[in-house]
Amino acid sequence: MTQTERSSRALFAIAFFSLWYSLSTPSWGQVYPGYNAVCTSQTGCSTNTGTSAFVDASMFLPPIGNRADICDAIYYVFTRTVPQYPANGEVIDARGITGSALTCTQGSPWSENNVYIKKPSVILLPAGIITTSASWVLPQNTKLIGTAKGTGNIGTTNYAFETTIQASANFSGAVVQFGDPSHCSSGCQGISVEHLTISGNGGAGYTMNGL
């Protein structure tokens, strides 16, 4: 074997090991799905350095996660312990959630099994019709942002690019509510809803409030 051949094999071995190490060493995003990795140097990302300021909620739905729908995924972000939800809140990006996962079956993003979460957040909602059978009672310091406000004609082509929160057929009450006295005794502050449509679904036989 010549010196050139030995050098080529050595370089190949080093390159193969480097590729294997990079694929087998988990980044923050792999250890904690949904959270962006943060690289502190040019040599790579640390497994114990990451940001909880922004999280991709779609990562908690199948095939990666096991949450039931968009509301369940957002609720899970609020309640999960690793990494713990930051006290000052974070941006929860749900824009990657589509299809049947837009039908909420577990409650609202802030309430499941009568357990209500009061944590600040900015929630980015996806385009499409999000169907809910429970009021979305927004806690203090919550900003809900859709992709665009619709025309009110659900079913038209442009609804594929707009965000609508719609009551299910058996729903009664307010679709979206800015807090309530039991959660904000002195009045809820810092709540906003932007770039979306709220729909009562046109059902008969029940009382429906939009906001």
Rounded Cα distance, 46 and 192, in Å: 36
Global pTM reads 0.75
Residue with token string 């909420």: 104
For residues 14-34, average pLDDT: 45
Peptide bond just before 26 cis, omega within 30 deg: no
Regarding predicted confidence, which is higher, 84 or 22?
Answer: 84
Strands 121-124 and 142-145: parallel
Peptide bond just before 83 cis, omega within 30 deg: yes
pLDDT band at residue 123 under the 50/70/90 scheme: very high
Half-sphere exposure of 106 (CA within 13 A, CB side): 19
Q: What is the pLDDT of residues 142-194, one digit of tens each?
A: 999 999 876 555 555 556 788 999 888 676 778 899 888 777 767 788 999 99
pLDDT exceeds 80 at position 16? no
* pLDDT at residue 158, rounded to an integer: 57
Q: Which amino acid is at 116?
A: Y
How large a percentage of the chain has pLDDT more than 70?
A: 64
Q: What is the pLDDT of residues 30-64, one digit of tens each?
A: 456 666 665 555 565 555 455 667 889 999 999 98
Burial of 150 (0-12, 13-18, 19+ CB in 10 A): buried
- Contact call for residues 128 and 160 (beta carbons, < 8 A): yes
* pLDDT at residue 34, rounded to an integer: 67
Regarding predicted confidence, which is higher, 126 or 39?
Answer: 126
